[in-house]
Amino acid sequence: MINRLQIALTFILFVTGPSVLSRAGDLRASDLQADPSRLLEQRLTAVEEKLRQLEARVDQALSFPGNADSARTEVTSTAALPDRFEILDQKLRVIERKKELEDEAAQAGDNTAWHAPVIATKQNAALFSDHEMLAVDDASSSPLFGHVYVCNAAFRGTAEVIGRGNAAPEPIVVSYSADGGDTWGHTQLSQSVNNGQIGGRQDCAVNTDSHGRVYVFWDGTDPKTRTLAIFMTVSTDGGKHFTRPPTVVTHIESAGIVDAIGDLTFDGQAGARDGSFPSVDIANGAPTGEGATDEIVLAWTEGPTPTSASEPNEEVHVLTSTDLGRSWSHDPIVASPPGDRPDFPAIAISPDGSDVYLTYMAFLQPWQSTTADPRLFQGVVRHADVDPTTGVIGAWSDLHRAPTGDARGSSANALVDEFLGDYNYVFATNDYAIATWNDARNAADCPAIDSYRQDVVDGTAAGDANDPTRPAPQQACDPTFGNTDIFSGSYPDPTP
């Protein structure tokens, strides 16, 4: 028996004709050479208009059965009735082909192929976003495939207030988009309080599994223990709502020591900034979701930071979950060798859950009490096999150790201390991984700056923009002072 929706659909197409719809996805690059954007938009607009007409008339036909019944004699002689999903598929073909051509144009250097930037977070004079992380639901098995998520710490207070060392409310917030980033919604995930009893929170990470669940992690103070912890919360509706209260995954000991300037540093006085924060990845089977184990891997730098070679040093710790974050491996895995002091680790697991990769900056000396001695570090990339059936991670080994550089050759804008950003990343496929890390191999140390920084540490130099003793790097330093880089490499799976 022909149902009323089929009758209505056929009636609409009988009246309006399917020609525009049937031609909508039949696009070739040669058809679009003159003005591909204009022709694609015209074709897409035509499809969308037909769909709007279709949906309106279907609603009308279903509301007034006589309208549909009047077409019964026409549709009963039709061997194959049109399916609305086929029409929607035509629209998708247009969109996909449009995206393909835009991607091709972008890769060819056509800047007009990029969409204009969109502000994803709420901003004003007393609200700024820090340490943002982005994730795309990239497994087509997910019902929310293509959704985009950005998490950040939303500092609330003017720069003048925060810049004077005052605590400011700083909740973790996630922004979410279901239309490719054109429009955004916002959900606050944590409390905002930041005071002497409960400190603030920072350093979020966000990722998705093969079923569209969104996982957000961050570090902050556990109000029950007043100690540093990594938190997690999960959404099943595209970021609109999350589990509450957030779960404490583990308590951690932060790396770094506060120097005389008041900064938490990893390598010494007037050194590079530091902090222990979560890096997360999920074996979600991207791009199709096939073979996904949805194992979650979580990594961070565990302190303490040593001031002598005889003291224990930092390690990369890794926890895993094979049950959607409900429980975690009992003891953290140590993923760094004893000789490394790992800073800012990033972790990735292959989509099929069979390999895990890690990158970080490895410092080779303890925390330095003066600026006189070298502070060598190098980028490191490591790998371990994973048993996809159990989620157990095997032995770790090096894939790459970069040439060393001296962190003293880096600099913040004010020159009073070093700067190495927390911008290390690694991304894995089933066949290889791509890693990026901060690198100082091309940065020369500047003795004049070292002496000036020591004066600031000792309190004999003001360290501000009006300080007459501040050296001019162009005259006092090697031309490559401050020439830090971000290096990258591609590394095939060593055990395919």
In a structure prediction context, what are the per-residue pLDDT tens digits for the chain, which is 496 residues long? 333 333 333 333 333 333 333 333 344 444 444 444 455 555 556 655 655 665 555 444 444 444 444 433 333 433 334 454 565 556 556 666 777 787 888 888 888 888 788 888 877 777 777 888 999 999 999 999 999 999 998 887 655 455 444 557 788 999 999 988 889 999 999 887 777 777 778 889 999 999 999 999 999 989 889 899 999 999 999 999 999 999 999 999 999 999 999 999 999 999 999 988 899 999 999 999 999 999 999 999 999 999 999 999 999 999 999 999 999 998 899 999 999 999 999 999 999 999 999 999 999 999 999 999 999 999 999 999 999 999 999 999 999 999 999 999 999 999 999 999 888 999 999 999 999 999 999 999 999 999 999 999 999 999 998 999 999 999 999 999 999 999 999 999 999 9
The C-alpha atoms of residue 421 and residue 344 are separated, in whole angstroms, by 9
**Assigned CATH for 127-492:** 2.120.10
The C-alpha atoms of residue 359 and residue 344 are separated, in whole angstroms, by 8
β-strands 341-349, 127-136: how paired? Answer: unpaired
User: How far, in Å, are 168, 204, 295, 367 from residue 121 at the CA level?
Assistant: 18, 15, 29, 37
The C-alpha atoms of residue 18 and residue 11 are separated, in whole angstroms, by 11
Looking at 64-112, list the stretches that DSSP marks H as alpha helix, in order from N- to C-terminal side.
Answer: 65-69, 72-75, 84-107
User: How far, in Å, are 59, 133, 322, 342 from residue 211 at the CA level?
Assistant: 32, 20, 14, 33
Residue 449 has what pLDDT? 98
DSSP state letter for 239 = T
Residue 56 has what pLDDT? 55
Of the candidates 459, 453, 419, 457, the residue with the CA atom closest to the CA atom of residue 260: 457
User: How far, in Å, are 4, 122, 191, 233, 319 from residue 172 at the CA level?
Assistant: 50, 13, 8, 11, 22
Residue 26: both structure tokens together: 């039949």
Contact 230, 300 (CB under 8 A): yes
Residue 44 has what pLDDT? 56
Mapping DSSP onto H, E and C, the string for 12-77 reads HHHHHCCHHHHHCCCCCHHHHCCCHHHHHHHHHHHHHHHHHHHHHHHHHHHHCHHHHHCCHHHHCC
Question: Three-state DSSP class for 117?
Answer: coil
Residue 76 has what pLDDT? 40
Residues 6+ positions from 487 with CB-CB distance below 8 Å:
379, 402, 436, 437, 439
The C-alpha atoms of residue 48 and residue 46 are separated, in whole angstroms, by 5
In sign, the C-alpha dihedral spanning 381, 386, 391, 392 is negative
Mapping DSSP onto H, E and C, the string for 223-234 reads CCCCEEEEEEEE
What are the residue boundaries of the structural domains of the chain, listed by start? 4-110, 127-492
The phi and psi torsions of 47 (rounded to 5 degrees) equal: -65, -45
Residue 414 has what pLDDT? 92
H helix or E strand, kind and range, residue 458: helix 447-458
Q: Which residues of 441-455 are buried (b: 16+ CB within 10 A; e: fewer)?
A: bebbbbeebbebbbb
β-strands 148-156, 172-177: how paired? Answer: antiparallel
Residue 49: both structure tokens together: 């208009």
The C-alpha atoms of residue 172 and residue 193 are separated, in whole angstroms, by 11
The phi and psi torsions of 112 (rounded to 5 degrees) equal: -70, -10
> Do you find a cis peptide bond into 304, omega within 30 degrees of 0?
yes
Q: Which residues of 298-325 are buried (b: 16+ CB within 10 A; e: fewer)?
A: bbbbbbebbeeeeeebbbbbbbbbbeeb
* 308-311, long-range: CB < 8 A, 24+ apart: 308/366, 309/366, 311/366
Residue 196: both structure tokens together: 């002497």
Residue 364: both structure tokens together: 């080779």
Residue 215 has what pLDDT? 98
